[in-house]
Amino acid sequence: MTECAISFTGEDGLDNLLLLDRTQQDEAQDILYPFALDELLCKHTGSGGPAVCHLWRHPRGFVMGLRDSRLPQAAAAQDWLESLGYSTAVRSTGGAAVPLDLGVVNISLILPKQGLGDKCFRSDYERMYRLIQLALQSTGCTVDKGEIDGAYCPGDFDLSIGGIKFCGIAQRRQAQAFVVQAFVICQGSGKASAELVRSFYDRAAAGVTQADHPIVTDDKTGSLEELTSLGSSAAQAFVEAVKQVIRERQSSPDIAEAATKLWLPEPEQVHTVIDTLRNRYGIERHK
């Protein structure tokens, strides 16, 4: 990890990130839109573009992991979700099934590899952990990391308060840059979200005697509204806290130069990538 420490250009690796706040753009677009946008921004960052912190929400989405998509009845479970009004997709980043709504704030840190290849993926998770830890500092709550049994989308970098998971982290790595993505459950019922994921797995894994998916219980996932003092406006409060952490680490000359290098793709370009992602990672349907 000593070698990886030099991938942090500042004390916590969060310096001079450009902010792209799309949390108010909550129209019911394809759930793959923000993922495709991250793909394009990551490619641009790897070609000399700026590092970016992308914040976004989706009103009613459900994203699955690659392993989820291989469950025997995954297509039927996806149809069930879409009948309930969810925009669904299989994501290219790691992890498992996650439901999204306006109470969930998603963070993407889009960063260059800086010549260290893929040696530093754990320290890149640490960046995201540090960002969220700092954003919640004012609540007085201790944010722990480590897998939470019974929570959905389990992993080594589950973030929790008092043993209840509120955040999961995944990565997508390209040749010259990478994206660290986190979903942060800010508002709403963690129990209700967990029940939805469990219902998805009940359908997707129907007929399987030995489950090849996370075993989700309804008591290990919570929202910041439930776990902290942020209350019913937790989503907006968390977004503002994240932005404040990023702004405190921006220096005027450097951020001005970075802004000149920012490039945002046209919607048509994003939709082209959406088609590619859906064709590459979509659930196979047998005729």
Check residue 9 and give its pLDDT. 44
Give the integer Cα–Cα distance in Å for 23 and 187: 14
Distance of alpha carbon 137 from the chain centroid: 20
pLDDT tens profile 207-222: 877 778 999 999 999 9
Report in angstroms the alpha-carbon separations of 233 from 57, 60, 72, 104, 168. Answer: 14, 18, 40, 12, 21
Beta strands in the chain (DSSP E): 18-22, 52-56, 60-64, 87-90, 98-101, 104-112, 144-145, 159-161, 164-173, 177-185
Check residue 122 and give its pLDDT. 73
pLDDT at 195 over 60: yes
Give the integer Cα–Cα distance in Å for 201 and 287: 22
10 Å Cβ neighbour count for 11? 9
Check residue 115 and give its pLDDT. 57
Which residues are known catalytic residues? 153
pLDDT tens profile 4-28: 543 444 467 899 999 999 999 866 6
Report in angstroms the alpha-carbon separations of 43 from 1, 2, 175, 234. Answer: 26, 27, 8, 32
DSSP assignments along 47-58, one per residue: TT---EEEEE--
What secondary structure letter does DSSP report for 17? P
pLDDT tens profile 41-60: 999 999 999 999 999 999 99
Residues 4, 9, 10: CA angle, nearest 5 degrees: 110
Residues 176, 179, 185: CA angle, nearest 5 degrees: 175
| Cβ atoms 198, 125 nearer than 8 A | no
Instruction: State which CATH number among 3.30.1490.20, 3.30.930.10, 3.20.10.10, 3.30.750.24 fits the domain covering 3-247.
Output: 3.30.930.10
| Residues 232, 238, 240, 241, CA torsion sign | positive
Give the integer Cα–Cα distance in Å for 271 and 37: 9
pLDDT at 234 over 90: yes
The full set of domain ranges for the chain reads 3-247
Counting beta carbons within 10 angstroms of the beta carbon of residue 234, is it exposed (0 to 12), middle (13 to 18) or buried (19 or more)? buried
pLDDT tens profile 109-161: 999 987 554 555 678 899 999 999 999 999 999 999 999 999 999 999 999 99
Model pTM?
0.92
Query: Measuring CA to CA, which residue among 184, 193, 243, 205 is closest to residue 21?
Result: 243
Average the pLDDT over 71-97 and give the result.
Answer: 94
